[in-house]
Structure 1
């Protein structure tokens, strides 16, 4: 189907969904198929970085840790207010903010309507991206952001938390009470929206996410049971120790977590690690966010 015919079909469906003609015309002004988006979508297979390189060079690099500590300190009062409302650790909020957009410094330069239109028209996962496109148009209709500021990643993730439009609809909040949920330019809304996402996905206040451990002699990663959850005292009894060789701290039940493409590092993960992975599912992502959260506050 020609792209212009696709756009006309989207506009017709948008009108049936209650979107105004003015919103639709402004959203699709100068929108064209974006070949860069298509190219990125077709070669998005997950990279082959070893866990240790991913951890130390990218996600938990000294620069990111330093910037995380600075942003944690500079926004302490705001983070305290957010924690009081949502009961989510401000350290994990800052860690997500850091890994997703470098603390708001890199939110993506793709026009969201153009990127989503391209992906919905191009065919692969067309239904998913079409639904996200209508969610984005609804955001514009409601006036949360100007069309020229609705920027994000090639795949449609938006603003400082990198929410997909459908997640914006469910989780974005107007924390400062100005009538708009602005996750692009309003730091309070952006960070509170991350907190709301975690609260709504089952974050347990005051519980740790997990820790790196030294397994007992004879432990083999291949075939290890990564599903069974046990009390921490049971893991201690089985010979697991902290990486410093001390007995494990008390805490909620935990299960073994093994990084992908790792060289032997072993973790015990609690419930809150599963919540982190609901934000972005790869196990290495969840572990890196947890490690960064330990170091920023």
Structure 2
């Protein structure tokens, strides 16, 4: 999937590589001939496909984040100025209010197809629709790039050349299979394709023809798009009959340091400790004896949740707590369009560099922060909390 700007994900300055027109064309052609073509033929791409799709191809040096041929140039600068502002911006009610009516309408429009998709893959329609909404605004987002040109450029001069060479070969296989024409094979600048924003390798594994026209069409078929999303989630372990999670009141006697999927216990055990749903309703009977874990995307500075395994299946679609929570929350709002009961409290703003320094200090004290990458995942959050408790403070599990 294509990673977008989330509140806990670095904001990359989208600088383009300075280049005069045609500067890299000859080197690019040689790269395609000597590097890409042999690997593609070995992977089963025919010479006819290579001749047809790569003929006359030039690199798109306007793409953001390019570093130079071979991926050996200087990486683009990272803007550290606004990374950890309040996630309230990411979860603005206005966004959900704009997405909910269209989602409800599409659920009615595609009711029959969604029933068949649910029956086959076991993924609820509201989750499918929420991912579709987040990825492409139910298909309304502009996805203007020639996927093959993007992938070839990224393989030639992007920051992950080997990764994108594999995706380019996968893209050539898609065209060879005939699911889409070259003109119809549109992607983002990062190579993620169509309404569900599948990279080519994901398309080959998970895209499905569900409308029966003989083509796996994630660009203009709503039904194929929804079924492909469901297939992806099912293949990544979606547990049929379980929800993604529940917003809860987390009493102070339950430490935020217990967050994380490696600290799962029966939801009934949390109930005995005083955890309760914000709705006032009991946990569903089919859930209460199933495992769950504490989820605190902003530590004690934001709403609290009990998450199920399915929350982390959504994260497999896009590796971000914020993304998965957005999807789960939007899915809930198709029913009752209400915001979180808990509030996103004002929090100390910081930078990725400062967080990395903090992580390194915590590692020096023996904490497992999940790697000093400057991002505040659950291992970093609970390590902060453990250090706070060790020094006699109430744990907030957040910076500051």
Alignment TM-score > 0.5, same fold: yes
* 1:279 aligned residue: 317
Asked if structure 1 preserves the Cα contact closer than 8 Å seen for 2:66 and 2:159, the reply is: no
C-alpha distance in structure 2 between counterparts of 1:122 and 1:16, whole Å:
23
Give per-residue Cα distances to partners, 1:115-154, cap 9 Å, x unaligned.
Answer: 1111111152111110011000000001000001111111
**In the TM superposition, what is the alpha-carbon distance from 1:91 to its structure 2 partner?**
0.9
Measure, in 1, the Cα distance between the counterparts of 2:48 and 2:78: 35
- Measure, in 2, the Cα distance between the counterparts of 1:266 and 1:150: 41
Matched, 1:265 2:319: no
Give CA deviations for 1:66-106 in whole Å, capped at 9, x if unaligned. Answer: 22222222211211111122221111110110000100111
User: Greater helix share, 1 or 2?
Assistant: 1
Say whether residues 1:52 and 2:88 are aligned partners. yes
2: distance between equivalents of 1:74 and 1:293?
17
Structure-1 residue corresponding to 2:49: 23
1:292 to 311, 317, 330: 330
1:255–1:268 CA contact under 8 A, matched in 2: yes
Q: What 5-or-longer segments of structure 2 have no aligned partner?
A: 1-23, 68-75, 336-400
CA RMSD across the alignment: 2.4
TM-score scaled by structure 2?
A: 0.68
Residue 271 of structure 1: CA displacement? 1.2
Q: Shift of the alpha carbon at 1:246?
A: 5.0
**Residues 146 and 249 of structure 1: is their aligned pair in 2 closer, same or farther, counting only changes over 3 Å?**
same
Q: How does 1:207-218 map to 2 (within 5 A)?
A: 207-218=242-253
| Contact 2:147 2:191 (8 Å CA) reproduced | yes
Higher-Rg structure is 2
Q: TM-score, normalised by structure 1?
A: 0.90
Match of residue 37, structure 1, among 35, 59, 63:
63
- Specify which of 153, 174, 183 is matched with residue 218 of structure 2: 183
Matched position secondary structure for 1:129: helix
Aligned counterparts, 1:249-264, within 5 A: 249-250=284-285, 251=287, 252-260=290-298, 263-264=301-302
Structure 1 portions without partners, runs of 5+: none
Matches of 1:232 and 1:39, distance apart in 2 = 44
Q: Distance in 2 between matches of 1:40 and 1:260?
A: 32
- Conserved? CA contact 1:157–1:163, under 8 Å: yes
Change (3 A) 1:148 1:45: farther
Which structure would you say has the larger RCO, counting Cα contacts within 8 Å and 6 or more residues apart? 1
Q: Which moved more, 1:141-150 or 1:75-84?
A: 75-84
Between the two proteins, the alignment pairs up a number of residues equal to 295
